[in-house]
Structure 1
Amino acid sequence: MRKLTMLGTGNAMVTKCYNTCFYLELDNGGLFLTDAGGGNGILRQLELAGFDYQKCHHMFVTHGHTDHVLGVIWVMRKVADLMNKGKYQGEFHIYCHDVVMDMLLTMTKMTLKKKDFARVGTSIFLHEVTDGETVTFEDVTLTAFDILSTKAKQFGYELRFKDGMRFTCLGDEPYNEHDRQYAEGADWLLAEAFCKYGDRDKFKPYEKNHSTVKEASELAEELGVKNLVLYHTEDKSIDTRKQAYTAESREYYHGNVFVPDDLDVIPLA
């Protein structure tokens, strides 16, 4: 059964939840990981989620900000360690743009043990993807796209399943019209919502090039998507976030809206 597991749902500076990252369970039981948060807290989140590393052979990294890329180093270390202990069979593939690829190569060379780093390029592979490039694995087709960020180069992706279901991750910045073909009419759209519209003066999302729940929901309505998942939020309202964000979203969007907490599992029906 296809499922989305949110490992983290918060923005870069949260302390009451983990940074935004997630994985999908695919039709064949394989797991596909996206980003890894900002540190080795990713190992705890994966453990709590019951993540089976042996079932995960593919990962996508959206961009090089600390709250998305630093956890990848720990994932690579964990996979390399499992490989060296004979507890991981096969290869591990990471898809990312050129800037992230350079960052990961540099950081792993500087920080991993030699026997772990020796796995990079031999059984752990970094694949550079470009805007509009397509990759097929585990019976799904991924198309990477540039969100044209003004802060740091960032890619999102559209994942297509064999039956035509489309799952689109917009990254953690507002939608860009350049990517309409990947988002319009999607079955699932993952979009950032830094805070409620009424709290914009408090959290100042626009100064950080982020959206509010209102704007993300208006976008989903305009694009005609069936299911909207909101993430990369503030954590000051963590106790009421799900209810409050959902209520605001429904004022502007008439599809199914999900405001997950960390470790929530969403069936992709």
Structure 2
Amino acid sequence: MRKLVILGTGFAMATKCFNTCFFLELEDGSLFLTDAGGGNGILRQLEVTNFDYNKCHHMFVTHGHTDHVLGVVWIIRKVADLMNKGKFEGQFHIYCHDVVKDMLEKMSAMTLKKKDFARVGTDILLHEVTDGQRVDLPQFCMTAFDIMSTKAKQFGYELKFADGLKFTCLGDEPYNEHARQYAEKADWLLAEAFCQYKDRDVFKPYEKNHSTVKEASELAEELGVKNLVLYHTEDKHIATRKADYTAEAKEYYHGNIFVPDDLDVIEI
């Protein structure tokens, strides 16, 4: 059984929840991590979920904003430390575009201990992916794509499993038609929804290049998506977010709606 484990659901400046990141647990027990939040809080989130680093050999990083990339340095440090103690077998692969690759190499060089940094490039491998590039992994075929961000370069991805399931991560900005082939008819679509439409004048999502629940839900309906996961939200309505966002989404989308809290587990 495949599972989507949500590590964080909040936007960059969230304090009531962790930054948006997650991992997939696959049928064979292997783990696939996406982004890592903005600091070493990622280590706690993973610890709470009983994350087994030895089962995670592949990771994807969408972009270089602080709330997505800084935690990756902590992942690199953790994996390097495990390797140096003989507690991690094999290599650890990180997939990202050229800007993120350069950032991670430089931050790792400046912040890691020499023996940990020695693992980068040998046992911890940073793979640059380009728009439309396909990567065949043991559990699925991954295709990376440029989401055409107007802020910082950002990639999403489509995963295609042997049984035909299509899982698409759109990153944390509004949909661009460039991504249609990867998002249309997806079994699972992960999309940002910064706030409810009625609160747009309060949170000003469009100024931040984000969308509301309404727009994300209309998109999923148009694309014929079966299951919609909404995250990367404001954190002022955490207590009622699941119910409120779900209610708004149902007005525009007729598939299955998931508005997870941090550490929620969704069977896919």
Corresponding residue of 1:126: 126
Report 1:222-241 matches (<5 A).
222-241=222-241
Corresponding residue of 2:75: 75
TM-fit CA distance, 1:27: 2.3
TM-fit CA distance, 1:29: 1.2
Q: Secondary structure at the residue paired with 2:266?
A: strand
Residues 132, 145 of structure 1: 8 Å contact kept: yes
Corresponding residue of 2:14: 14
Corresponding residue of 2:88: 88
The CA distance in 2 between the partners of 1:160 and 1:7, in whole Å, is: 22
The CA distance in 1 between the partners of 2:139 and 2:183, in whole Å, is: 21
Corresponding residue of 1:144: 144
Residues 194, 210 of structure 1: 8 Å contact kept: yes
Q: How many residues align?
A: 268
Report 1:46-195 matches (<5 A).
46-195=46-195
> Which residue identity lines up with residue 256 of structure 1 in the other structure?
N
Q: Name structure 2 gaps, 5 residues minimum.
A: none
The CA distance in 2 between the partners of 1:139 and 1:228, in whole Å, is: 22
> Which residue identity lines up with residue 95 of structure 1 in the other structure?
Y
TM-fit CA distance, 1:135: 0.5
The CA distance in 2 between the partners of 1:131 and 1:25, in whole Å, is: 25
Corresponding residue of 2:254: 254
1:170-199 per-residue CA deviation (whole Å, 9 max, x = no partner) reads 000000001100000000000000000000
Instruction: Name the TM-score, length of structure 1 as normaliser.
Output: 0.99
Q: Secondary structure at the residue paired with 2:230?
A: strand
Instruction: Name the TM-score, length of structure 2 as normaliser.
Output: 1.00
TM-fit CA distance, 1:152: 0.3
Is 2:31 the counterpart of 1:31? yes
Residues 28, 138 of structure 1: 8 Å contact kept: no
Residues 26, 138 of structure 1: 8 Å contact kept: no
1:27-46 per-residue CA deviation (whole Å, 9 max, x = no partner) reads 22110000000000000000
Q: Name structure 1 gaps, 5 residues minimum.
A: none
The CA distance in 2 between the partners of 1:197 and 1:150, in whole Å, is: 21
1:68-100 per-residue CA deviation (whole Å, 9 max, x = no partner) reads 000000000000000000111010000000000
> Which residue identity lines up with residue 112 of structure 2 in the other structure?
L
The CA distance in 2 between the partners of 1:115 and 1:160, in whole Å, is: 37
Q: Secondary structure at the residue paired with 1:14?
A: coil
> Which residue identity lines up with residue 130 of structure 1 in the other structure?
T
> Which residue identity lines up with residue 238 of structure 1 in the other structure?
I
TM-fit CA distance, 1:139: 2.3
1:185-236 per-residue CA deviation (whole Å, 9 max, x = no partner) reads 0000000000000000000000000000000000000000000000000000
> Which residue identity lines up with residue 55 of structure 1 in the other structure?
K
RMSD value over aligned CA atoms?
0.4
TM-fit CA distance, 1:26: 1.5
Corresponding residue of 2:266: 266
The CA distance in 2 between the partners of 1:160 and 1:79, in whole Å, is: 27
Corresponding residue of 1:207: 207
TM-fit CA distance, 1:138: 2.3
Residues 54, 88 of structure 1: 8 Å contact kept: yes
1:37-69 per-residue CA deviation (whole Å, 9 max, x = no partner) reads 000000000001110100000000000000000
Residues 169, 189 of structure 1: 8 Å contact kept: yes
Corresponding residue of 2:40: 40
The CA distance in 1 between the partners of 2:81 and 2:212, in whole Å, is: 40
> Which residue identity lines up with residue 198 of structure 2 in the other structure?
G
Q: Secondary structure at the residue paired with 2:63?
A: coil
> Which residue identity lines up with residue 42 of structure 2 in the other structure?
I
The CA distance in 2 between the partners of 1:78 and 1:48, in whole Å, is: 16
